[in-house]
Amino acid sequence: DTAVSQTPKYLVTQMGNDKSIKCEQNLGHDTMYWYKQDSKKFLKIMFSYNNKELIINETVPNRFSPKSPDKAHLNLHINSLELGDSAVYFCASSHLEDSKGYTFGSGTRLTVV
């Protein structure tokens, strides 16, 4: 299936732990994104990579580090997890210059206890 797939779907972890979320797209898109959706359903951009190059780096704690090994993958590593990091994290991809919008993954629900 053509899609944006992210793993895991659910992640429950203790404060202070380090965790990673993986994302892969097989749509041939050149740009990938990480978004955070809070409890009020507000979606906020965190990072974006175009052809493996970082093009958007919003003001997020430096405990969050994205890594793009190739155009089809964008992973998110989070160090020293805090309660406030609990949210749903969405990966998305697109062609940077076209009008067809983003294709989103189904999200990773992170709960920090």
DSSP string, 41-60: --EEEEEEEETTEEEEE-S-
Piece in contact with other proteins (CB under 8 A), picked from 17-25, 62-70, 72-80, 88-96:
88-96
> Which of residues 65 and 107 has its CB atom nearest to other proteins in the complex?
107
Scanning 19-27, 41-49, 61-69, 73-81 for contacts with other proteins by CB under 8 A, the matching segment is 41-49
Residues 49-78 that bind other proteins (CB under 8 A): 50, 55-56
Q: What is the residue whose two structure tokens read 């991809």?
A: 93
For residue 23, the cross-strand partners are 6
How far are the Cα atoms of 20, 27, 89, 103 from residue 1, in angstroms, in the given order?
24, 10, 22, 13
CB of 21 to other proteins, least distance (A): 13
The terminus-to-terminus CA distance of the chain in angstroms comes to: 34
Binding site residues, other proteins, CB under 8 A: 4, 31, 40-45, 48, 50, 55-56, 90, 92, 96, 99-107
